[in-house]
Amino acid sequence: MIEVKYFGAVAEKTKCEFEKLSFSEELSLQKLLQDLNEKYEFEALTFSVAVNQKIVSKTSDYTLQTSDIVALLPPFAGG
Amino acid sequence: MSSSTRYNRQIILSDIGEEGQQKLAKSKVLVIGAGGLGTAILPYLAAAGVGEIGIVDHDVIEISNLQRQVIYKTDAIGKSKAKEAKATITELNPLVKVKAISEKLSGRNAISLFEKYDIIVDATDNIAIKYLINDACFVTNKPMVYGSIFRFQGQVSVFNYQNGPTYRCLYPDENSNAINCEEAGVLGVSVGIIGMFQANEVLKMILEIGEVLSGKILVYNVLNNEQQKYDFEKSDIQTITREAFEEKYNKCEVEEVSFESVLNEMDNDEVLFLDVRNTDESPKISLRNQIQIPLMHLESKLENLDKKQTIYIFCQSGIRSKIAFELLQKHQFKNIKSIAGGALAMKQLLKEDKLKLKI
């Protein structure tokens, strides 16, 4: 199981602030993002991605480990 | 004597002391945006005794601002935010030198402005301006204290602190379409809380205490009080040189305004409407504060224009006025704007307004 956290406009698309996902075979971060994009249609939404509280490249071939926490952080603009 | 009494409660903190107070008195902070975040930050910086504060905001106070921009009073609606904010914080602490800058931050004024201050606070509400602030901070080597809001969530970070990571290292994609408070809605306390986090970072940097939020972004949710910090690293590709900055922000940056937005300036002697069409072109527009210099003669007749005056340039449809804009810009005219749609749009509007003009 991994946990994915959503913030700002991304959470509005997913309609939840976090979810737990289980995966049977090896899952790369890139593949996870692809799957989420298909599921939620983020389209033009920009966001940075963190794994375990550290921002990483979205195209990273990092293999997700059980208990990893992924976060999708879009920029905010209000003030 | 009176100043050490004023600041007594912070001077008695062993991390601050008289020495810390001196650091505050010597510091210069520029706050960009006197909206929700800015009006939360400004009084605290002033009260703490920051020596010099600059406030950049070209907007006027609107009634819908008052719910969160709590330093403004109801009878100040319509007045300049920068000037009102200056008046309020000067009353709060007359020892602070405050400068109100009622201009829009742009590629033309950002660098010269930033050079006069030690710390730049981003209290703005749109993404494009955040990239401009980031880039100008990078070029001038100043830290940028970032804060922004999305509904009940806020972000805070300090970019470019001692050559640390920048906004571009966190968000390289400049073409993002994040929405602001006007579109998304916001509660006053949310901007207040995030503004406090920003003011706190400013004071920590000046006082050299604690840990600055450099290379980290703090995300705060006011609904459940959860806060998270995310680390990010400096990216060597996200840099900008001064030349690249000029190229990006100052090339053919023609400032356009609609005639509608300047209608009430038709009787203002401080402004000039400049018609750059040839004398035989119609429709004729005859405003009281207007002169005509055809574009082809403009460069040779610049001495007829006052650089201190605000000049609204127009032509037939808004093309030649842009060329005139660039020409005047080249000759160091600063307060110039091109009227979108030119005389055709103006005449339409004047008709609609049924104004009695010699057309």
Name every residue whose Cβ is closer than 8 Å to that of residue B89 and which is 6 or more positions away in sequence.
Answer: B42, B43, B46, B53, B71, B96, B98
* Contacting B residues, span 73-92, partner chain A, CB-CB under 8 Å: none
The chain A residue lying nearest B37, using CA atoms, is A79
CATH architecture of A2-73: Roll (3.10)
Average of pLDDT values for B121-128?
94
pLDDT band at A24 (very low <50, low <70, confident <90, very high): confident
CB contact under 8 A, A78 and B124: no
pLDDT of residue A69: 97
Compare A52 and B249 and report the one with higher pLDDT: A52
What would the pLDDT profile of B185-227 be if each residue is shown by its tens digit?
Answer: 999 999 999 999 999 999 999 999 999 999 999 999 999 999 9
Q: Which of B123, B171, B191 sits opposite A46 (nearest CB)?
A: B171
Residue A55 C-alpha, separation from nearest chain B C-alpha, in angstroms: 5
Instruction: Provide the residue ranges of all domains of chain B, joining segments of one domain with +.
Output: 2-245, 254-352
pLDDT score of B356 more than 70: no
CB contact under 8 A, B170 and A53: no
Average of pLDDT values for A52-56?
97
Q: How many CB atoms lie within 10 A of CB B167?
A: 25
Helices B188-207 and B36-48 cross at an angle (nearest 10°) of: 40
pLDDT of residue A23: 85
What would the pLDDT profile of B53-86 be if each residue is shown by its tens digit?
Answer: 999 999 999 999 999 999 999 999 999 999 999 9
**CATH number 3.40.50.720 given to B2-245:** yes
Chain A CB contacts of B178 under 8 Å are: 8-9, 46, 74-77
pLDDT band at B358 (very low <50, low <70, confident <90, very high): very low
Alpha-carbon distance of B117 to B133, in angstroms, equals: 13
Instruction: Provide the residue ranges of all domains of chain A, joining segments of one domain with +.
Output: 2-73
The burial of B356, by beta-carbon neighbours within 10 Å (0-12 exposed, 13-18 middle, 19 or more buried), is given as: exposed
What would the pLDDT profile of B137-183 be if each residue is shown by its tens digit?
Answer: 999 999 999 999 999 999 999 999 999 999 999 999 887 677 777 77
pLDDT of residue A9: 93
Alpha-carbon distance of B146 to B134, in angstroms, equals: 9
Residue B161 C-alpha, separation from nearest chain A C-alpha, in angstroms: 18
* CATH of B254-352 given 3.40.50.920, 3.40.250.10, 3.30.450.20, 3.40.640.10: 3.40.250.10
What would the pLDDT profile of B258-308 be if each residue is shown by its tens digit?
Answer: 888 888 888 888 899 999 999 999 899 988 899 999 999 999 999 989 988
B106-131 burial string, b = 16+ CB within 10 Å, else e?
bbbebbebbeebbbbbbbbbbbebbb
Average of pLDDT values for B333-339?
90
User: Could you tell me where the DSSP H helices lie in A1-79?
Assistant: 8-14, 29-40
pLDDT score of A8 more than 50: yes
Alpha-carbon distance of A4 to A15, in angstroms, equals: 13
User: 3-class secondary structure for chain B?
Assistant: CHHHHHCHHHHCCCCCHHHHHHHHHHCEEEEECCCHHHHHHHHHHHHHCCCEEEEECCCECCHHHCCCCCCCCHHHCCCEHHHHHHHHHHHHCCCCEEEEECCCCCCCCHHHHHCCCCEEEECCCCHHHHHHHHHHHHHHCCCEEEEEEECCEEEEEEECHHHCCCHHHHCCCCCCCCCCHHHHCCCHHHHHHHHHHHHHHHHHHHHCCCCCCECEEEEEECCCCEEEEEECCCCCCCCCCHHHHHHHHHCCCCCEECHHHHHHHCCCCCEEEEECCCCCCCCCCCCCCEEECCHHHHHHHHHHCCCCCEEEEECCCCCHHHHHHHHHHHCCCCCEEEECCHHHHHHHHHHHCCCCCCC
The chain B residue lying nearest A8, using CA atoms, is B150
Q: How many helices (H) and strands (E) does chain A have?
A: 2, 5
Alpha-carbon distance of B30 to B145, in angstroms, equals: 10
Average of pLDDT values for A13-33?
93
pLDDT of residue A59: 83
- Tokens describing residue B349: 């509007």
pLDDT score of A76 more than 50: yes
Average of pLDDT values for B238-250?
89
pLDDT score of B357 more than 60: no
pLDDT band at B121 (very low <50, low <70, confident <90, very high): very high
pLDDT of residue B253: 67
Average pLDDT, chain B: 92
pLDDT score of B35 more than 90: yes
pLDDT band at B359 (very low <50, low <70, confident <90, very high): very low
pLDDT of residue B355: 54
B198-217 burial string, b = 16+ CB within 10 Å, else e?
bbbbbbbbbbeeeebbbbbb
